Amino acid sequence: MTTNKTWMTDYPEEVLAWMRQREAKHLNYNGKSPQLASRGELVDLICMVTEHLKLSVATTHLAVHLLDRFMDSHFILENQLKLTALTVIMLADRAFMQWPTSLVAAACVACGRLSSNFEPIWSATLETTTGYTIQSLSQIMDLFLRMYRSEKKNSTCSTPESGYGSRCPSLQGSP
């Protein structure tokens, strides 16, 4: 068997199938994270940041849920715990929770290619590699593009001379 240059492996279909199986499984929450003692501090950080950004209570709860799920199934280095807490806040835009992670990731790639004027936006290789058609990505891509346009319209960035300030009203309301 020859190595697939896109995947750098002999088994791209098997790898993708395995990843999809893992994604489809809903792991049980055991509450047995090795970092469980740090949870209170991390939840406090999430609450402080979401309050400062004026995010919704639902976003705060989802971020804590994501933190708990991630910590329960991964060992996180001590110096990366706060970074993990901040990352789950970013992931708690509930607009994308209805779709599988791999579908959202594929739509991100397609939107990136679209905004970079790559043609085709979704090649046959990408379709074969991911198992997703451009049609299956269209709803998520549309949501991404509407959010991007809204952010671009509502954001203003000042010049370096004025201190790199920015105003992002979309971050001040609920996601």
Tell the CATH topology of 31-92.
Cyclin A; domain 1 (1.10.472)
pLDDT value at position 167? 35
Render pLDDT for 87-103 as a digit per residue (tens, 0 to 9): 788 777 766 767 887 88
- Record the tokens describing residue 159, joined without a space: 């010049």
pLDDT value at position 160? 40
Strand partners, 9: 4
Say if CB 43 and CB 64 are below 8 A apart.
yes
Determine what percent of the chain is predicted with pLDDT higher than 90: 17
| Domain locations along the chain | 31-92, 101-171
Closest to 86 measured CA to CA, from 110, 70, 101, 107: 70
Is the pLDDT higher at 162 or at 131?
131
Residue 171's Cβ-side half-sphere holds a number of Cα atoms within 13 Å equal to 13
Q: The pTM is what?
A: 0.48
Cα–Cα–Cα angle for 167, 114, 174, rounded to 5 degrees: 35
Alpha carbon 21 to its chain centroid, in Å, reads 19
| Helix ranges (DSSP H) in the chain | 12-24, 39-52, 57-73, 81-91, 101-115, 124-130, 134-154
**Cα–Cα dist 54/52, whole Å:** 5
Say if CB 35 and CB 71 are below 8 A apart.
yes
- Confidence bin at 42 (pLDDT 50/70/90): very high
**Which of 39-48, 149-158, 164-173 comes out lowest in average pLDDT?**
164-173
